[in-house]
Amino acid sequence: MRKYSNLDTKSSRAVRVEAATVLPTSAGPAAGPQNQEINGPDLVAPPLRRVSASYLFWITVANFGASLALMVPLTYSLAVRVSQLDPGHEEVLGYITGTAQLVYLVLSPLLGVWSDRLRSPFGRRTPFVVGGAILGLLAVVFIAVSPNLLLIGAGWVVGLLGWATAGQGIQTLLADRVPEEQRGRASALTGVSTQIAPVIGIGVAYAVVKSTFLLFLVPALVGLVLILAFVLIKREGSSRDIVRNDTVSAKALFSSYVFNPRKYPDFGWNWLGRFIFFMGLYFNTTFGTFFYAQRLGIPVVQVAGVVAAIGIIGVLAATGGAILGGFLSDKLGRRKLFTLIGALLFVAGACVEAFAHSIVPLVVGSVLMQLAIAAFSVVDQAIVFAVLPSRAEAGRYLAVVAFAQKIPSAIAPLIAPLIITIGAVGADKNYTTLYLIGAVFALIGGLIIFTKVKSVR
């Protein structure tokens, strides 16, 4: 067995070395070995051992940092910058964020393949996590001082690429290290950090809202510091001995964008259900800042305080949903039920917000949606780890999984501006229809996973 150094563990039980040359069927139990695909005789996955509570804590901290740095611009600061340079044209925000997501979609599988095969003294994933964070920090500083929307759009293409790469690297480390019996709780902890990061980030942004430069710099700087703390305290270790196949053909690069759903049906069905659910989610979150401003009749720049207050209330719901969903799914050995519950709760929250015009129903709808997103995302992430075609190529396949979230995040902001103009009166946009359409998509996505994924209970 090749050595993979500096694994942080409590014990050596549940060790499994899964080489890419093993080919179990895709219909195996969720707790069994991952489905494998031949890609090269020397490309192997690191061994799985039960990780310590300390490791889970620090990777959660890093995930929180990456999520905060990514989500504050998406949920607030980019909207403020657009309103400063082009007031009354909020659809521009959708074009900027959608374009950036499309660029990342094209590049992410290539980054995943590169990550799988990277031979370095720092490991396969750490250089991408740290490099992405540094790139993201430089990009948002550029956005803060850019004088026009074209430069802001170009800056966010680079910024999203950086922070999304860092976040994807952290998720891939979970696939590399965490065994089946801990995946629910690991997904729960990182899922909670993802949910609360925008809320805390908006609070941080509101504290420095008078300075556009600090509005972009502070969240990114916090994210970089937390990521560096993780990689320095819980070092990944060298990948020079575990990665031997470092040559990739043009055909292999092209194939990294696709997979065979007939050969891996559970991976395919889960991908489709996840895709449809996140279409609904991004319909209902892309214009959140403008939505709250319209429904409460306040200027966009003042929305940060409202969003932070509503979000803080929703943090408890999101934390409860993620922890209960993740830990209970580990304990009960059931995953799909919790994804369906999450989809149903999302429908309820979206319907409440669709017809809300005051603070109380907005709070109720937000709490339900926070709970729903946490419950669905956390448990479905554990399902993803269980149905990966090859754990040795976790970077590649998690990039493909990310398509199910990133494609909606690119498409929804481009479609949503058309929906909110249907039947719009004056400056008021039609957010009611947008939120109801989002609810329908979320429900369909949850039902697909619940009824079609067979190898996971």
SS3 of 30-50: the string is CCCCCCCCCCCCCEECCCECC
pLDDT number for residue 7: 40
CA atoms within 13 A on the CB side of 277: 32
- What are the residues facing 19 on neighbouring strands? 44
pLDDT number for residue 28: 35
pLDDT number for residue 19: 33
pLDDT number for residue 246: 53
Tokens at residue 45, please?
């996955």
Tell me the one-letter amino acid at 112: G
d(CA 54, CA 190): 13
- What are the residues facing 44 on neighbouring strands? 19
Distances (CA, A) of 217 to 61, 161, 211, 384: 19, 17, 10, 33
Q: What distance lies between CA 134 and its chain's CA centroid?
A: 19
N-to-C CA span, the chain: 32
Taking alpha carbons only, the member of 111, 109, 158 closest to residue 134 is 158
Taking alpha carbons only, the member of 381, 436, 434 closest to residue 412 is 434
Query: Phi then psi for 299, rounded to 5 degrees?
Result: -65, 155
Residues 212 and 81: beta-carbon distance below 8 Å: yes
pLDDT number for residue 20: 33
- What are the residues facing 313 on neighbouring strands? none
Taking alpha carbons only, the member of 62, 220, 40 closest to residue 140 is 220
Tell me the one-letter amino acid at 132: G
Residues 435 and 351: beta-carbon distance below 8 Å: yes
CA atoms within 13 A on the CB side of 281: 28
Tell me the one-letter amino acid at 182: Q
- What are the residues facing 43 on neighbouring strands? 243
The residue written with tokens 């909020």 in the block is 90
d(CA 400, CA 390): 12
pLDDT number for residue 245: 55
pLDDT in tens, the chain (457 residues): 334 444 443 333 333 333 333 333 333 333 333 343 334 445 666 777 888 999 999 999 999 999 999 999 988 889 888 888 877 676 788 888 888 988 988 888 888 888 888 888 998 999 999 999 999 999 999 999 998 999 999 999 999 999 999 999 999 999 888 887 888 889 888 888 887 888 788 788 878 878 889 989 999 999 999 999 999 999 988 887 766 555 666 666 777 777 888 899 999 999 999 999 999 999 988 778 788 888 888 887 778 778 777 777 777 887 888 888 888 888 887 889 889 999 999 999 999 999 998 888 988 998 899 889 888 988 998 899 889 888 778 888 888 888 888 788 778 888 988 898 887 777 778 899 999 999 999 999 999 999 999 988 8
**Three-state secondary structure readout of the chain:** CCCCCCCCECCCCCCECCECCCCCCCCCCCCCCCCCCCCCCCEECCCECCECHHHHHHHHHHHHHHHHHHHHHHHHHHHHHHHHHCCCCCHHHHHHHHHHHHHHHHHHHHHHHHHHHCCCCCCCCHHHHHHHHHHHHHHHHHHHHCCCHHHHHHHHHHHHHHHHHHHHHHHHHHHHHCCHHHHHHHHHHHHHHHHHHHHHHHHHHHHCCCCHHHHHHHHHHHHHHHHHHHHHHCCCCCCCCCECCCCCCHHHHHHCCCCCCCCCHHHHHHHHHHHHHHHHHHHCCCCHHHHHHHHHCCCHHHHHHHHHHHHHHHHHHHHHHHHHHHHHHHHHCCCHHHHHHHHHHHHHHHHHHHCCCCHHHHHHHHHHHHHHHHHHHHHHHHHHHHHCCCHHHHHHHHHHHHHHHHHHHHHHHHHHHHHCCCCCECCECCHHHHHHHHHHHHHHHHHHHHHHCCCCC
